[in-house]
Amino acid sequence: MTRLYSTAEISKGGLFSAQHAQVCAEIHSLLGRLPEFRSPREVPFDNGLYFWFETGELCSHIRDMPRVARVGNHPHAQNGLKNRLRNHYSGTKNGSVFRKFIGGALLRSRDEASPCLAPGPGLGHWERQDMKPCKDCAPLEREVSRILRERFFFKCVRIDSRELRNDLERVIIRDLSKCPSCRASESWLGKWAYNLDVRESGMWNSEFTFGPIAADDHYLSDLASLVNETLNFHATAG
């Protein structure tokens, strides 16, 4: 059951900061039980949510644990988990908004006046969807692939139901983006991203960040059950 809060409840402020921090802590605690992957080939199932973690970005709730830097899904294609991960690792910026964000942030961190970003944030040929990179920014594709291999790892929760995957993706991104204590480090590359939600959330996500405040009574228990099922799948597959 999902209940939207009233304007009067929202005005109480601190209640919701504490709630989102508690939910964020629980999500990280559950994900901490899962194995780390650094290649789509390592994932032993075909459907699920994936959670990226980035070197130098730490969770405030659990000592020395990286924080979730991006949540991903394959919302339209059943059995598409590994293919979606491959698109991130070795695809192109037009096939992965994650790659597009990273490459744009790299360009902007080096030269905010780069012609590849002109005429403005999100409007240049690197950051516009379906526009081709020029000879100057095309080499970024290799650099983005290298950064993903060297600075990131991911974890997966096995979820066969497309409807459940899509619902969980929405609420998890919403609550992680609203955590008041898990913030990006001062040197986080995403602070150079053109997208405001990326910069403010400290996550490489723009969709579902800062969604409507709501109480989702069931989803953490659902996630806990799915994590247990995923661990059991690993045990039997291994």
In order, the DSSP letters of 156-187 are EEE---HHHHHHHHHHHHHHHHT-SS----TT
Euclidean distance between CA atoms 225 and 238, whole angstroms? 20
| Burial annotation 48-59 (CB, 10 A radius, 16+ → b, else e) | bbbbbbbeebbb
pLDDT score for 48: 98
pLDDT score for 218: 76
User: What is the count of structural domains for the chain?
Assistant: 1
Tokens of 176: 């992680």
The whole domain housing 111 covers 2-237
Euclidean distance between CA atoms 166 and 181, whole angstroms? 26
pLDDT score for 17: 78
Cα of first residue to Cα of last residue in the chain, in angstroms, is 36
- The secondary structure element, H or E, covering residue 215 is strand 214-216
pLDDT score for 117: 97
**Within 10 Å of residue 42's Cβ, how many Cβ atoms?**
13
Task: Quick: pLDDT tens for 176-189.
Answer: 999 999 999 999 99
Residue spans of the chain under pLDDT 70: 1-16, 213-217, 238
